A and B are shown apart, each in its own frame.
Chain A
Amino acid sequence: MPTPTYNCIATTTLSSAQSSVTFSSIPGTYTDLVVVIQAFWTTVPSNMYIYMQLNSDTGSNYSTTILSGDGSSALSTRFSNRTNMNMDYAATLVDEEPTQRNINIMNYSNTTTYKTAIWRSNRAGAGTDAMVGMWRSTAAITTILFDLEAGDYASGSTFSLYGIKAE
């Protein structure tokens, strides 16, 4: 019997500048998580990176592979043994233009595999990124922190967490 899923777990629209947003106490009852972020930055000059950190793990257990285009050229690069995942490369945060991220965190609650996330980051005025990241931990993900390289997310930035359950 097919079962309805893809439920909103939590969402917020920032009413004031904030330096980070954390989803915590994430239930382990879903199979995948999807996070949708539309964010601005507060200060000029800008071009700040968003970082994702899982379960408050500050160790060098994160890595990413990146496909990025800025309108004139495309490139591929990677970050290894990092203390968080870069969520963007060309589509960095600015103050005057919304940037969007759509993050799929696959099989987040299993306790046997490292965790893989695939996502896109977009800013029409700068570029588009497609990225894959790995967290070298078999722990179930219960907390997701979206931090910034510097400064604050501007008021009006939105963060939404969805759960998808496979039957």
Chain B
Amino acid sequence: MPLITTRSNASARGYGAFLAAAAASSTSFESIATVSVGSGGASNVEFTSIPSTYTHLQIRGIARSNRAGYPNDGIIVQYNSDTGSNYAYHELSASGDGGVSAGSSANTSLQFIQGIAGSTASASVFGGFVIDILDYKNTNKYKTLRANAGYDGNGNGYRVFSSILWLNTNAINSIKFTQRSGNTWEQYTSFALYGIKGAA
């Protein structure tokens, strides 16, 4: 049973404990599929046949690539096998060195989410990410993604907010994740796809 313990600064140094049972699983947030990279790595991770029964998608996970010579890398997102220059992105980022950076690109096939660990990051360091793809099945508008990502390597790091636009009105039914550097995902990299329902 999980515990919450609070500590008072009163002279008696009293402790209070609150017990809370896990809530019933009646949420609008559902796990759809997960890919965990095994030994030997993987060049990409892909979710296919994504059901159209949700309103939004969320992808959560940790990642590390074998990008040579860098402690960081980025995730390239590709929808429905579209390899054309049909994407755009903006980002706001910080690497811990004082300044804040902004980047963007339009009409590109190299849109990416930075903040993933690369090969020169300390062993066992992985970047974390939470990616939301909004209104993914709507066929009347282009698709927008927002990402919240980063890694810290105790002396280096990267924290980023990104948005990616797909210039296409098709419903998204597959998502492929590769690396900005075109290398491979390291073992233990994990992408988990969730669906978020709208009001019934």
Contacts and interface: CB of A to CB of B under 8 A. Distances in A.
Interface of A: 2-12, 14, 16-27, 31-32, 63-67, 69, 74-78, 80-81, 104, 106-107, 110, 112-114, 116-118, 120, 130-134, 136, 138, 151-152, 159, 161, 163-167
B4 A134 contact: no
Interface residues of B, number: 64
Interface in B132-182: 148-159, 161
Interface in B108-134: 115, 122, 124-130
A69 B102 CA distance: 14
Instruction: Find the residue from A8, A134, A159 having the highest chain B CB count within 10 A.
Output: A134
Contacts of B96: 65-66, 76-78
B159 A113 contact: no
A32 B60 contact: yes
A9 B159 contact: no
Nearest to B14: A16
A119 to B, nearest CB: 9
A110 to B, nearest CB: 7
Interface of B: 1-9, 16, 18, 20, 22-27, 29-34, 51, 60-62, 92-100, 115, 122, 124-130, 148-159, 161, 188, 190, 192, 194-195
B22 to A, nearest CB: 5
A67 B154 contact: no
